[in-house]
């Protein structure tokens, strides 16, 4: 039996119950990076701040590389029903985790640069990092989040358009691959800033 | 207080609320017309509350540097 049940008389749909538990899980995991950042700053530990920045950035990049290099191949070999089943679980699970990792990585990176005294807005390397961060943020706010919301909305309809759900999910997975590319470029810039400074 | 970080996080907040808000607004209209399930709208509400909570916590960091 389908996990989405319909009532044609009342025009309502039973939203998959696991959506709630996956979203709760995503929220709890999404709280960890931001709480770790608060602790690092509250106890004024540069070591912990660096750790939070590198760990969150590495996890964010790793996740996007996995989505871009592995999940796209897996999804291509699934039929549309299976793709939708993946989308119904992947969207709520990543809903808070990815924005939290991204925002904490960026915020912690700025704090690290400020504490190291290299946050110089005239530096071409800092400007380059800022441009890449703006691209990543634009993709996140402009595509990832709206697509996730559209998947939720589609699932809430009495007759969800499964092709639309699969298409939106594939867009997000492919975009994660492009995010991974920009993150690899960003890590190159970070390596220069850490080793050679802002010029 | 870190003014630069505060402005950046508030800008994130504004963009999030604008995009999420516009999609939520159209979804709530669809829910009123019976086109989508109220539970779906509830999921969007919880999503918005969750994102606001995470951004509010991030906002605290601007006052710790």
Task: Give the closest of A41, A103, A104 to B64, CB-based.
Answer: A41
* A101-131 pLDDT per residue, tens: 999 999 999 999 999 999 999 999 999 999 9
Chain-wide mean pLDDT for chain A? 89
What's the structural domain count of chain B?
1
pLDDT digits (tens, 9 = 90+) for A175-190: 988 888 999 999 999 9
Task: Note the pLDDT tens digit of each residue in A132-153.
Answer: 999 999 998 899 999 999 998 9
A127 belongs to a structural domain: yes
Domain count, chain A: 1
Indicate the DSSP class of residue B34.
Answer: T
Spatial contact of A127 and A121, defined as CB atoms under 8 Å apart:
yes
Q: Does residue B27 belong to the interface with chain A, where contact is any CB pair within 8 Å?
A: yes
Reported as type and span, the H/E element at residue A13 is strand A12-13
CA–CA dist A112, B2 (Å, integer) = 13
Containing structural domain, residue B9? 3-61
A1 belongs to a structural domain: no
Find how far residue B61's CA is from the centre of its chain. Answer: 18
Of B8, B34, B54, the CB nearest to A34: B54
A36-50 mean pLDDT: 97
Structural domain that includes position A124 = 14-196
Evaluate whether residue A8 is within a structural domain. Answer: no
CB A136 within 8 A of CB A175: no
Count A/B contacts: CB-CB distance under 8 Å: 111
CB B54 to CB A31 under 8 A? yes
Q: Are A81 and A2 in contact (CB under 8 A)?
A: no
Phi/psi at A88 (5° precision): -65, -25
Structure-token match 């989405």, residue found:
A4
Q: Which residues of B touch A56 (CB under 8 A)?
A: none
Asked whether the ipTM of the predicted complex exceeds the cut of 0.95, the reply is: no
Residue A9: inside a domain = no
Using an 8 Å CB-CB cutoff, list chain A residues near B53. Answer: 27, 31
């Amino acid at each position: 039996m389908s996990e989405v049940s319909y009532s044609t008389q009342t025009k309502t749909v039973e939203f998959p119950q696991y959506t709630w538990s996956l979203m709760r899980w995503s929220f709890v995991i999404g709280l960890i990076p931001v709480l770790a950042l608060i602790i690092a700053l509250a106890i004024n530990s540069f070591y912990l701040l660096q750790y939070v920045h590198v760990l969150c950035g590495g996890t964010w990049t790793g996740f996007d590389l996995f989505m871009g290099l592995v999940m796209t191949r897996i999804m291509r070999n699934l039929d549309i029903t299976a793709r939708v089943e993946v989308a119904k679980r992947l969207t709520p699970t990543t809903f808070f985790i990815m924005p939290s990792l991204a925002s904490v990585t960026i915020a912690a990176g700025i704090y690290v640069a400020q504490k190291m005294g290299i946050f110089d807005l005239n530096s071409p390397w800092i400007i380059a990092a800022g441009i890449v961060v703006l691209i990543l943020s634009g993709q996140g706010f402009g595509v990832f989040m709206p697509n996730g919301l559209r998947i939720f909305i589609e699932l809430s309809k009495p007759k969800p358009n499964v092709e639309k759900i699969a298409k939106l999910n594939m867009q997000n997975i492919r975009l994660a691959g492009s995010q991974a590319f920009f993150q690899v470029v960003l890590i190159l810039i970070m390596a220069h800033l850490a080793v050679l400074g802002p010029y | 207080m870190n003014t630069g970080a505060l402005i950046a996080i508030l800008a994130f907040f504004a963009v999030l609320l604008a995009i999420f808000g516009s999609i939520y607004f159209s979804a709530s209209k669809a829910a009123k017309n019976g086109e989508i399930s109220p539970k779906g709208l509830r999921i969007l509400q919880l999503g918005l509350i969750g994102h606001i909570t995470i951004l509010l916590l991030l906002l605290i960091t601007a006052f710790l540097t």
